[in-house]
Structure 1
Amino acid sequence: MSWWQQPLVGFDLETTGTDPAVDRIVTAALVDTVGAGRLSATGWLIDPGIPIPAEAEAIHGIGDGLARAQGRQAKEAVDEIAAGLCERMAAGHPVVAFNAPFDLSLLDAELRRHGLPTLTERLGGPVAPVLDALVIDRAVDKYRKGSRTLQRVCEVYGVELTDAHEAGSDALAAVRVAVALAERYPVEVGSVPPLDLHARQVDWHRAWAEDLQSWLRRAKDPQAVIDPRWPLR
């Protein structure tokens, strides 16, 4: 069977902001699937230990009051998230995300913040295989017009997104987009072993970042920098 017919784990975070180096986790989800079929989900609500900006609350709906009253202590929860993620990867289940460098890098930063082993230290090697539905979509349909938000990409591939910016819903949607990509592009995506597809995404993301940086420097900002690293920054 191809990877998209076997066990996968969707991963998503909702956070205090958009900078993986300094922002904190508010909610997280790991969704176990076989192909596109959901088996189970584990979710976390966390007290991030810093104020949740109004802009972030407007996106995911979690404010300071709820996080402080019902959220888990951050160090304990972050350790559980990383342990769950690495346990599945060690069992050979590819991790599926949408814009993986954000979620994985932010989780790694949280682990360091709390003096906990990083993802690489837990796995004893590279964080792989990761399947990033955003990176794959950009590569196989490079010239499609319009935005590449999860909501828009779900529309393109006929995936239902029931509750955008809810971590469990977004994680499941990322898996289903990845499966839809595999079905639509069997040669480029569906028939490629996960570790080989992981390696291709490293190159695809680097090429995309270099192209975007070049365009930005010509058209908007001579100092623009787009990070080429994937899946961790």
Structure 2
Amino acid sequence: MTNLKDALEAAPVQDADTPLGQSRLLGFDTETTGVAMGRDAIVSATLVLRDPRSAHDGDVIDTWIINPHRRMSPGASKVNGFTDAFLAEHGEEPIDAIERIASLIALAQSKRIPLLAYNAPFDIRMLAGDLNRWQLRPMEERLDGRAMLVVDPLVIDRSVSRRSGKRTLEYTTEYYGVEPDGDFHDATADTIAAVDLIAPMTTLYPQVGHITLEGLMDWQRHAYGTWRESYNRWLAGRGRAPVRESWL
């Protein structure tokens, strides 16, 4: 079985004009002790390297179970199934695990391979919180100050699909005809499902497939800003507080 580090080291540096539909991707997903970024911690993570030419058959996967040295919130435990006792017995020490995750992401970024995560700010900021907690080098230093190259299928879907209803990963994969490989709220199943969304998105919406790596971040920032403006008008009409968070 190919090692993820070896596969990333062997991958070529992608050209800035590579279209999203032809790009290698590094899928990323986490399960956590809760949803408070900076306070909660990662307990499970998966990275999936996808080459669009070979799809599932060529996937290279690495997974982690991590002892966060903090308690699971009851709500998070109910969703992802992890318990304090299980993590204490089976979890890897966080300094080792978080360092390897960050190093692999940085290696992919050096090859201009985007990090793909559904609702990417959550997973990226959870990683940043754990790097800070364990006094490990932040991603900004690992990338020599460059902005991280990210693909967020949620941002893309909101921009191009006018469907109504929920946009959780489960509902979105159903809409695009993606069959999950396992149960949702499992980091590996969620990562593969999120990466699987790119093929139908770039097929149904050619403008998405033609986004280049060079223009990827600006396209998504604009898409997020447009969505937030529209959503905030909807919220204002119902007397609710606006969304103020930025994307990445």
Please give the TM-score of this superposition, normalised by the length of structure 2: 0.86
Instruction: Provide the C-alpha distance between the structure 1 equivalents of 2:38 and 2:229, rounded to a whole number of angstroms.
Output: 21
Given that 1:46 and 1:73 are in contact with CA atoms closer than 8 Å, whether structure 2 keeps it comes out as yes
Q: 1:128 aligns with which of 143, 148, 151?
A: 148
Letter in structure 1 aligned against 2:174: E
Residues 1:194 and 2:218 aligned together? no
Q: 1:10 aligns with which of 27, 44, 64?
A: 27
1:27 aligned partner: 44
Given that 1:119 and 1:127 are in contact with CA atoms closer than 8 Å, whether structure 2 keeps it comes out as no
Q: 2:108 aligns with which of 88, 109, 112?
A: 88
More strand per residue:
1
Instruction: Provide the C-alpha distance between the structure 2 equivalents of 1:128 and 1:183, rounded to a whole number of angstroms.
Output: 25
Residues 1:154 and 2:200 aligned together? no
Residues 1:216 and 2:235 aligned together? yes
Instruction: Provide the C-alpha distance between the structure 1 equivalents of 2:29 and 2:21, rounded to a whole number of angstroms.
Output: 19
The CA RMSD measured in Å over matched residues stands at 1.6
Instruction: Provide the C-alpha distance between the structure 2 equivalents of 1:169 and 1:116, rounded to a whole number of angstroms.
Output: 28
Deviation at 1:228, TM superposition (A): 3.7
1:180 aligned partner: 200
Letter in structure 2 aligned against 1:24: A
Structure 1 consecutive aligned stretches of length 4 or more whose deviation exceeds 4 Å: none
Letter in structure 2 aligned against 1:191: H
For residues 146 and 22 of structure 1, do their structure 2 counterparts lie closer, same or farther at Cα, with a shift above 3 Å needed? Answer: same
Q: 2:83 aligns with which of 53, 56, 63?
A: 63
Instruction: Provide the C-alpha distance between the structure 1 equivalents of 2:147 and 2:132, rounded to a whole number of angstroms.
Output: 16
Instruction: Provide the C-alpha distance between the structure 2 equivalents of 1:13 and 1:220, rounded to a whole number of angstroms.
Output: 34
Residues 1:139 and 2:159 aligned together? yes
Deviation at 1:225, TM superposition (A): 4.4
Q: Secondary structure at the match of 1:30?
A: strand
Unaligned runs of 5+ in 2: 1-17
